[in-house]
Amino acid sequence: GAVVSQHPSRVICKSGTSVKIECRSLDFQATTMFWYRQFPKQSLMLMATSNEGSKATYEQGVEKDKFLINHASLTLSTLTVTSAHPEDSSFYICSASRDRTDTQYFGPGTRLTVL
C-alpha cells in the first residue's frame, strides 16, 4: 500500500510554455501533499505544502505565481510550472501523507527539461 504516482515521468518543453505535473495517491487518501525540487547531486528542496481543499503554503523563495499548486481532491495534486524557463529544468518529486501520524510517501518524480 501507500503508492504515489506522478505523470508525466519526463517532459520536454519550449521556453515560455506551461507544464502541468500530476501527483496521485493510488491506494490511500492524502490529506497533505508536498512538492519538492531536486537539482543534480543536490538534496530535495521543499517547494510547497498543500492540504486538500485549501491554498498551498510555499517555502521562502518559491514564486507562487510561477508554480501553481492545486490539491482539489484527496488523491490528486497538480503542479503547474507557468512560463517555464531553462533554469526551471529539474527533477520534481511529490510526496503524500495520510495524516499527521503518517510518514511521507514519495512519487517516482518528473524530469522537466526546458529548452
Partner 1 sequence: QKEVEQDPGPLSVPEGAIVSLNCTYSNSAFQYFMWYRQYSRKGPELLMYTYSSGNKEDGRFTAQVDKSSKYISLFIRDSQPSDSATYLCAMSAFDSGYSTLTFGKGTMLLVSP
Residues that bind partner 1 (CB under 8 A): 4, 6, 32, 34, 41-46, 49, 59, 91, 93, 97-109, 111
Provide the minimum distance between the beta carbon of 60 and partner 1 in the complex, in angstroms, as a whole number. Answer: 12
Give the three cell numbers for residue 23: 501527483
Provide the minimum distance between the beta carbon of 100 and partner 1 in the complex, in angstroms, as a whole number. Answer: 4
Nearest residue (CB) to partner 1, 14 versus 60:
60
Nearest residue (CB) to partner 1, 71 versus 98:
98
Provide the minimum distance between the beta carbon of 83 and partner 1 in the complex, in angstroms, as a whole number. Answer: 26
